[in-house]
Amino acid sequence: MADIITVNGNVKFSITLDPSVWIFDDRKFKLEDFFASIGEEKEAERDESLMKIGQQWDRELAHGVAPTKQSEKLFVEKKKIVGDYGMYLEPFLKNAEPAENASTLVCRLENGEELSLPLQEAYKAVLCFAIDGKPIRENGPVHLYFGDGRNIGQPIQGIIGFTVV
């Protein structure tokens, strides 16, 4: 199993991805949130969340916030990484800058197989890079889920590279 993944082919820039460092990336998200939101409109939830943030901001302005060493220590302990995490494939594909005539993304697997999907569908795909807060070692380093969630139970595993054609 390789720890890195290449993106090459009909692209302006061939790039190398290292999923082991994505845990520190702000673009990551919990897969349970992704799976829960498939097919749902989350606008009302977003508005409610913004209202709560605004109310918290008002409270902190009125009463002040002075974290103690104890609360800072608890915050760091609670921030331990747990759960399954993923990132969208889109920003990586855009950084590689596929040619205008590119239409397909080929997933090269460690068993020698190749799986093709339309490039527009690949932009919506999600790469799972951590299970239970740990990098994927077996059949990894990433598992690919389609953006519509149709392969939730059977993600594409053992990916060693992507080729844009």
| CATH number where 91 lies | 3.90.420.10
Please give the tally of structural domains in the chain: 1
Q: Give the pLDDT of residue 128.
A: 96
- 36 falls in which pLDDT band (50, 70, 90)? confident
Token pair 């409610």 is at which residue?
A: 48
- Rounded Cα–Cα distance for residues 96 and 9 (Å): 10
Q: Give the pLDDT of residue 94.
A: 96
Residue 135: inside a domain, yes or no?
yes
For residue 100, give its domain range. 5-36+81-164
The more confidently predicted of residues 22 and 40 is: 22
Render 39-65 in DSSP notation, one character per residue: T---HHHHHHHHHHHHHHHHHHHHH--
- Rounded Cα–Cα distance for residues 122 and 97 (Å): 14
Q: Give the pLDDT of residue 54.
A: 78
Report pTM.
Answer: 0.75
Token pair 């939101």 is at which residue?
A: 37
- Rounded Cα–Cα distance for residues 75 and 46 (Å): 24
Residue 43: inside a domain, yes or no?
no
Q: Summarize the confidence of residues 31-36 as an average pLDDT.
A: 89
Residue 41: inside a domain, yes or no?
no
Residue 59: inside a domain, yes or no?
no
For residue 79, the SS3 value is: coil
Judged by average pLDDT, the poorest of 34-38, 47-51, 124-128, 154-158 is: 47-51
Report the chain's mean pLDDT, rounded to a whole number. 86
Residue 63: inside a domain, yes or no?
no
The residue length of the chain stands at 165
Residue 138 has pLDDT above 60, yes or no: yes
Model confidence over 66-104: pLDDT tens digits? 566 655 555 555 556 788 999 999 999 999 999 999 999
The more confidently predicted of residues 55 and 109 is: 109
Q: Give the pLDDT of residue 127.
A: 97
Residue 69: inside a domain, yes or no?
no
* Distant-in-sequence, close-in-space partners of 139: CB < 8 Å, separation ≥ 6: 1, 157, 158
Residue 21: inside a domain, yes or no?
yes
- 118 falls in which pLDDT band (50, 70, 90)? very high
Determine if residue 139 is left, alpha or beta; phi over 0 gives left, psi from -120 to 50 gives alpha, anything else beta: left
Q: Sign (positive/negative) of CA torsion 27, 32, 37, 42?
A: negative
* Distant-in-sequence, close-in-space partners of 18: CB < 8 Å, separation ≥ 6: 3, 4
Q: Summarize the confidence of residues 20-41 as an average pLDDT.
A: 84
Residue 139: inside a domain, yes or no?
yes
